[in-house]
Amino acid sequence: MNQPVQPKINVRGIRKQFGDLIVLRHIDLDVMAGEVVALIGPSGSGKSTLLRCLNLLTIPDNGELRIGEDSFVFGKGSRLPGAKVQASFRSRTGMVFQHFNLFPHMTVLQNVMEGPLTVKGMSKTKAQELANQLLAKVGLAEKAQEYPDFLSGGQKQRVAIARALAMEPSVMLFDEATSALDPELVAEVLQVMRDLAREGMTMIIVTHEIAFAREVASKVIFMRDGVIVEQGPALQVIDQPAEEATRSFLSHFHTRS
């Protein structure tokens, strides 16, 4: 008999509280390899915190997390993974933030090379070759020797994506990757994300770009007040939401083409 296919990302009972504020309340989530999941919902619903928990940038208070071969248990009596284990895990779980966090004193090429050199111990020649390939992939080959201060916001975000990809992750997490950009620069970043989806990269995307989520995501999850209210195929959740809260949220967007 064929073994059932395991999800690439498996989340059970993830909970997170900051002081008196409960941000995540028992989140369960499965993401299959090659799936693109869009997390949507109002600000403060817990989407970004969930993404940070998936990358161990925020440690959950309770629950279980598995991404690929890496498994973690959180809560009373469990031991947190050490810094080395966390760093190794993050190298396989790429994350792109709203703000680009590029090193201003390094060229674009050096920014992309830095992770493979320092974390993975890659040779300079190989790291440079990889960085050049990735800059070409995001349409910035000609900017390799520029410094970040001379780039537009959209170009900086594409460098940030190339930098995350340089670690050769098996999963990519995007936290509002376009929300800090001027509207005319959003499209160039979304196109890179579209290309990654087409190539089969497993991705979770926190976004307010509802039309983009409808087009690219295989699954959409609507969150509010730290819980998953509704989830399902993108067209179903966005065009025919079952829950009143989802309908109310989506009424603010013009999504249909």
* 73 is a domain residue: yes
Q: Is residue 136 part of a domain?
A: no
**What's at 67, amino acid-wise?**
I
Does residue 127 form part of some domain? no
Which strand (E) or helix (H) includes residue 188?
helix 183-198
Supply the angle between the helices 183-198 and 153-165 in degrees, to the nearest 10: 20
Say how far apart CA 127 and CA 118 lie, in whole Å.
10
> Structural domain tally of the chain?
1
DSSP-based three-state secondary structure for 80: coil
**Inter-helix orientation angle 108-118/153-165, to 10°:** 20
User: Closest Cα partner for 51 from 86, 94, 84?
Assistant: 94
| End-to-end Cα separation, the chain, in angstroms | 43
Query: CATH no. for residue 25?
Result: 3.40.50.300
pLDDT of residue 3: 64
Domain assignment of residue 100, yes or no: no
Which among 101, 153, 158 is positioned nearest to 135, based on CA atoms?
A: 158
Q: pTM to 2 decimals?
A: 0.92
Give per-residue pLDDT as tens, 131-146: 999 999 999 999 999 9
In a domain, 137, yes or no: no
170 touches 93 (CB < 8 A): yes
- Can you tell me which residue has the tokens 């594409």? 158
Task: Write the pLDDT tens digit of every residue in 61-107.
Answer: 999 999 998 999 999 888 887 888 888 888 889 999 888 889 999 99
Distance CA 112, CA 250 (A): 37
Domain holding 30, by residue range, is 9-92+169-250
- Among 2-6, 13-17, 59-63, 193-197, name the one with the lowest average pLDDT: 2-6
Residue of 187, 186, 195 whose CA lies nearest to 162 = 195
**155, part of any domain:** no
Rounded CA-CA distance 156/64 in Å is 34
Residue 206 placed within a domain: yes
In this predicted model, which residue has the larger pLDDT, 13 or 77? 13
Q: Is residue 118 part of a domain?
A: no
